[in-house]
Amino acid sequence: MTSNRSAAQGSAPSGPLTVPPFAVVPGVQVQRALHGREKQITELVETTYRLHSAGDSVNPPSYFLRFPDRPTARIIALPASIGGEVRVDGLKWISSFPENVAAGIPRASAVLILNDHDTGYPIACLESSIISATRTAAMAALAADRLSRPDRRPRRVGFFGTGLIARYIHTYLVGTGWHFDEVGVYDLSDESAKGFRGYVEQTGAPGRITLYDNPEQIIRESDLVVFATVAGRPHVGDMTWFGHKPLVLHMSLRDLTPEIVLGSTNVVDDVEHCLKADTSPHLAEQHTGNRDFLAGTLDDVIAGRVALREDRPVVFSPFGLGVLDLAVGKYVYDEVARSGELHVVDDFFHELRRYG
């Protein structure tokens, strides 16, 4: 659902209108503000989903900029507005250049612009690859918590695709209290798989780490499967691999064939957003001509509006909402401002008198 804040929910400026200062928040400050806050940020993501579900947000479709000369690359614009106590508008502008990884630099890079609620002026530009990975990991941790039964917590996690997002998700699962007996690792790239294993080892989290060299085995041996690949088209399509009914966090959105989607209980973050851009649920919709295979949104499950069937795998496919980036970005901005370390760019807005 792309919700719309109603006029009745609009709010008047809190004081006389002035041009706010403009700040730049580099990655080092973003990381410091978020470090060790896994529980807080996961709660913030939950609150933001609730606001979004209640209609106190504006979250239009993401805009995908693609290039004929660089077919694997894209830059996505995610404009959004959020109400509640956060009350901020803004835009995430995030690039994905998968070929970067071979050159040793991250695939994704991003900035987040926050706009003042009352004047519309941009108040900050934040480094946002960390914010984006953080909110993604927080929503994965929230989904793992709310889509699994407390008396039947998965103990064997399998990471299918082990880049930066997988690393953040592991950090968030452990940081929100998950313990695993087994940590499975599978990636097409040996280097990625070994790098991820090294990271998990170095966290000191308990659990035996196993490197898998085929996709079937890691799925069969995991009761929580995290997909974080960069696959553009489905590559997993054998329903028998899911016979043990795992919980699947389908973060990369395009790994599963329509058959797997149709054989599972499907939860998304936002229906309209998720059924776009050739995601696996979008392909399933094209295949069947309807949306009957969707159980509901994560917020529907959290609020008790939807009960999960236990006789099928549960697949969570989150498109990733701009409102989450805004909420986490505003949290970072407020933390840095509170510490008195905001790097304000003096005279950024310079043409301020109507008649000179």
Ligand X SMILES: NC(=O)c1ccc[n+]([C@@H]2O[C@H](COP(=O)([O-])OP(=O)(O)OC[C@H]3O[C@@H](n4cnc5c(N)ncnc54)[C@H](O)[C@@H]3O)[C@@H](O)[C@H]2O)c1
Which single residue brings its beta carbon nearest to ligand X?
A: 163
* Residue of the chain from 34, 58, 88, 108 that contacts ligand X (CB under 6 A): 108
192 in contact with ligand X (CB under 6 A): yes
* Residue of the chain from 77, 101, 239, 344 that contacts ligand X (CB under 6 A): 101
273 in contact with ligand X (CB under 6 A): no
Q: What angle do CA 68, 75, 160 make, to 5 degrees?
A: 100
344 in contact with ligand X (CB under 6 A): no
Segment near ligand X (CB under 6 A); pick from 74-82, 143-151, 182-190, 326-334: 182-190
187 in contact with ligand X (CB under 6 A): yes
What is the rounded CA–CA span in Å between residue 39 and residue 67? 39
Would you say 336 and 270 are in contact if contact means Cβ atoms under 8 Å apart? no
322 in contact with ligand X (CB under 6 A): no
189 in contact with ligand X (CB under 6 A): yes
Smallest gap from Cβ 249 to ligand X, in A, equals 9
Query: Residues 53-82: x/- map of binding to ligand X (CB under 6 A)?
Result: ------------------------------
- Count the residues of the shown chain that bind ligand X, applying the rule CB under 6 A: 28
Query: Residues 122-151: x/- map of binding to ligand X (CB under 6 A)?
Result: ----------x---x---------------
Segment near ligand X (CB under 6 A); pick from 35-43, 141-149, 204-212, 249-257: 249-257
Closest CA to 313 of 229, 230, 232, 256: 256
Q: Which of residues 153-172 bind ligand X (CB under 6 A)?
A: 160-166
Segment near ligand X (CB under 6 A); pick from 11-19, 53-61, 203-211, 225-233: 225-233
Would you say 56 and 82 are in contact if contact means Cβ atoms under 8 Å apart? yes
Segment near ligand X (CB under 6 A); pick from 54-62, 203-211, 248-256, 330-338: 248-256
Smallest gap from Cβ 230 to ligand X, in A, equals 5
* Residue of the chain from 107, 156, 220, 273 that contacts ligand X (CB under 6 A): 107
What is the rounded CA–CA span in Å between residue 221 and residue 3? 39
What is the rounded CA–CA span in Å between residue 52 and residue 84? 10
Smallest gap from Cβ 12 to ligand X, in A, equals 34
Compare residues 123 and 260 and give the one whose CB is closer to ligand X. Answer: 260
Query: How far, rounded to the nearest angstrom, does the alpha carbon of residue 352 sit from its chain's CA centroid?
Result: 38
251 in contact with ligand X (CB under 6 A): yes
Binding site for ligand X (CB under 6 A): 98, 101, 107-108, 132, 136, 160-166, 187-189, 192, 228-231, 235, 251-253, 318-320
